[in-house]
Chain A
Amino acid sequence: MNRRTFLNWGTAGIAALCAGVAVSLAAVVRFLTPSVFYEPPQMFKIGNAADFSFGPPTFLAEEKIFVFRDREKGFAIASAVCTHLGCTVGYFQTDGRFHCPCHGSVFGADGKVEHGPAPRPLEWFEVTLARDGQLSVDKDRVVPAAYRLMV
């Protein structure tokens, strides 16, 4: 074996080794990424429009959403998950704002950050009318705060 052959094979060998390590690492990351999430579905029905009153929003604890119903404007769904560190915010009727218990973030009625460390406004989710007449919320679809569903 001469010098040139040795270097060629050596380079190819090291390249193959690096590629193997990279593929293995990618495989490990992929292995650790679940293919199925045994979690509550992101899209779910919350009941009929008539179930929700006008005025202050209804808080659905399991789903972590606020259901707003306005006589003129219709339905809107706000996320109750603080954009700061994932605590559940509360809606205070006294000042019409969302308050986070963890680090004191305050969000306005439109979800905009008014105070505290939260980096982004609260999310608003798409709400549609399902075939059976129930309201259907899709947490994977984030909509502008002005989005409303008239029923």
Chain B
Amino acid sequence: MNPIRDAWQSIFRRDPLSTDKGKSELVFLNVWLHIHPAKVKKENLKVKHTFYLGFITFYLFLILVTTGVALMFYYRPHPPQAYQDMKDLEYVVYLGTFLRNMHRWAAHGMVICVFLHMCRVFYTGSYKRPRQFNWVIGVFLFLLTLGLSFTGYLLPWDQLAFWAITVGTNIGSYAPLVGGRIRELLLGGHSVGESALLRFYVLHVAVLPSVMILLTMVHFWRVRKDGGLSRPVWKLKAESAAKVVTIGAPAEPAFRVVPASKDKTYGLMEVVTGKPIFETVSAEEEEDTVFSYPYAFFREAIALVATVISVMAVSLFWNAPLEEMANPVKTPNPAKAPWYFLGLQELVSHSALLGGVVVPALAVLALVAIPYLDPNPSRRPADRKWAIRAFAAFAIVNVVLIIIGTLFRGPGWALVPPWVHISGAE
């Protein structure tokens, strides 16, 4: 009897990793890893298929949770202490500046990566049957990311935060009928003040992260249940419409026999009727798979390390901005919303109702409805020229508006190129 070995074996029950059975058991006997399949298609590990953007987004979220909890130990959500705590983080707290930088830059990175991930999923047509609903969840995760970013933006309680949220929440109040009411509920008052800070804090550290975690779990679960990652577009054959083949089911015209591999053990679980909802793996495709351990895990670990190191590196060299304390009396000129809302603010500067409510509402509705409105079953880029052009136009308009709002708008929201310096501005 060896208590150490006994304890070890009570925790890790798998066979040695040198065996195929051990490699499989590592995945499906482990609560954290079993979201993976035991084996993955080689083609799905290719960087050029996904750029690992979903993973990077998730890793950034993990960084945000970790650094966010750390920052909470030194933060009181009440003016003026909130701002004083920012100063403490900057000058007094050990690693305070670094942690705040990481939190800030990871947040910006997450907004960017979610958007890029959405672009990737669109361009590979991966929102199509059977993955429509996961696209919808993804859109909500995108909105949640913006919500988390927006609520976090107020917490430093500096001029930047105060006026960005003043402008941002006023945009929302243009929504017909409910707009003013929503703003009042969100702020807990008529203007951005102490109750607004507390509410944004609670939303930022408790409500929105919880919803985010729940939806993320559903999102990952659906990736598996919808048949894993979509096939890379370069693997799609011109005949289109991947044929659904059920292993063991009578295929037309004759019964199709799938040869059993000698290396595997097969078990019949249950016989049910009905069509499978996802593409199944055919016998020849089975040969193109590798064990998740170590191939997928290794790549995911590389992505994780790369993400963490990138955020750390950026945080070493660039500090998160902190202006003077929030002053409701003094509007900075120009007053700008957070950068990812500057496209919206640019639209709002032309028409508040149309640009601030109608266009963004329609854009979100269109995003949600894309998988159900796109009648084209093919995922091949050659078959979806117009879809790709339309989405490219959407993405470019977004980026251009944000760039104009960020770099080309000066005092009084006048069009000023970034290379022109206006003396006495601010």
Residues of A within 8 A of B (CB): 29, 32-34, 37-39, 61-62, 64, 84-88, 99-104, 116-117, 119
Per-residue A-contact encoding for B405-416, CB less than 8 Å = 1, 0 else: 000000111100
Q: Are A119 and B353 in contact (CB under 8 A)?
A: yes
The residues of B that contact A62 with a CB separation of less than 8 Å are 329
B335 touches A119 (CB 8 A): no
Indicate whether A117 sits within 8 Å of B412 (C-beta atoms), given known contacts A85-B166, A101-B334. Answer: no
User: What interface size band does chain B fall in?
Assistant: 20 to 34
B188 interface hit (Cβ, 8 Å):
yes
Restricting to B342-373, which residues have a CB under 8 Å from any CB of A? 345, 348-353
Q: What would be 21 A-B contacts, judged by CB atoms less than 8 Å apart?
A: A32-B188, A34-B188, A37-B190, A37-B195, A38-B189, A61-B329, A61-B330, A62-B329, A64-B329, A84-B170, A85-B171, A85-B352, A86-B167, A86-B191, A99-B412, A101-B331, A102-B333, A103-B412, A104-B349, A104-B412, A117-B348
Min CB distance A104 to B, Å, is 4
Q: Which of B171, B195, B330 contacts A38 (CB 8 A)?
A: B195
- Known contacts A32-B185, A87-B163, A87-B335; A101 and B411 CB within 8 A of each other: yes
Q: Tell me the minimal C-beta distance from B345 to chain A in angstroms.
A: 8
CA distance A58 to B411 in the complex (A): 23
Q: Kindly list chain B residues whose C-beta atoms are within 8 Å of the C-beta of A61.
A: 329-330
Check if B185 sits within 8 Å of A29, measured CB to CB.
yes
- In the bound complex, what is the Cα–Cα distance between A134 and B66 (angstroms)? 56
Closest to A86 in B: B170
Q: Does B227 contact A (CB under 8 A)?
A: no
How distant is B344 from chain A, measured CB to nearest CB, in Å?
A: 11
Contact indicator A117/B349 (Cβ below 8 Å): yes
Spell out B's residues near A (CB within 8 Å).
163, 166-167, 170-171, 184-185, 188-191, 193-195, 329-335, 345, 348-353, 411-414
Q: List A contacts of B195 (CB < 8 A).
A: 34, 37-38
Q: Given contacts A34-B188, A39-B191, A87-B166, is CB(A104)–CB(B414) below 8 Å?
A: yes
B349:A103 contact, CB within 8 angstroms: yes
Report yes or no: B166 in contact with A117, Cβ–Cβ below 8 A: no
Query: In whole Å, how far is B192's beta carbon from the nearest beta carbon of chain A?
Result: 9
